[in-house]
Amino acid sequence: MTASRLVACPHCHTLNRLPAERISAGDTSGVCGKCKRPLFAGTPVTLDAASFAAHAERSDLPLLVDFWAPWCGPCRTMAPAFATAAHKLEPEIRLGKVDTEAQQNLAAGFGIRSIPTLILFKQGREAARQAGAMTADAIEHWVHTHV
């Protein structure tokens, strides 16, 4: 029997079952069974309270979240590095962004006090946290240290 993993669609947030070996092999060709769009776009997913739950709590992929705000200079500076990291880390890791201005309750629930703050979630639980802007290489290294 082939092991499978649940993967949340970055577009409609529906859970899809994929063979684990396809994900391990770096296969990004999966398509959502509901919306028929790619499951791996190589870009960060914009998350709100509802979609956050699908990706952090129900999906089997680890989720790296950038808590940021549009007015934050370091957040804007780090955005291209975070996008580059998303392209390199998928399909093993999903990257998402939470706008702390638009999702104040979500940010407060995780005790976000400074931005940007990165939190890595594994199986619905916080596995690691890092405050401050980082380069793409530093993000990748930090993630691999904690996965």
pLDDT tens per residue, range 40-88: 999 999 999 999 999 999 999 999 999 999 999 999 999 999 999 999 9
In a domain, 36, yes or no: no
In a domain, 138, yes or no: yes
In a domain, 19, yes or no: no
Integer angstrom CA distances of residue 25 from 22, 37, 55, 108, 133: 5, 20, 21, 37, 30
14-24: pLDDT as tens digits: 999 999 999 98
In a domain, 106, yes or no: yes
d(CA 85, CA 107): 22
The CATH number linked to 124 is 3.40.30.10
Closest C-alpha among 94, 100, 145 to residue 123: 94
> Phi-psi category of 126—alpha, beta or left, where left has phi over 0 and alpha has psi -120 to 50?
beta
* Number of domains within the chain: 1
Give catalytic status of residue 72 as yes or no. Answer: yes
Domain boundaries, position 68: 41-146
In a domain, 71, yes or no: yes
Catalytic residue among 12, 32, 35, 72: 72
Give catalytic status of residue 75 as yes or no. Answer: yes
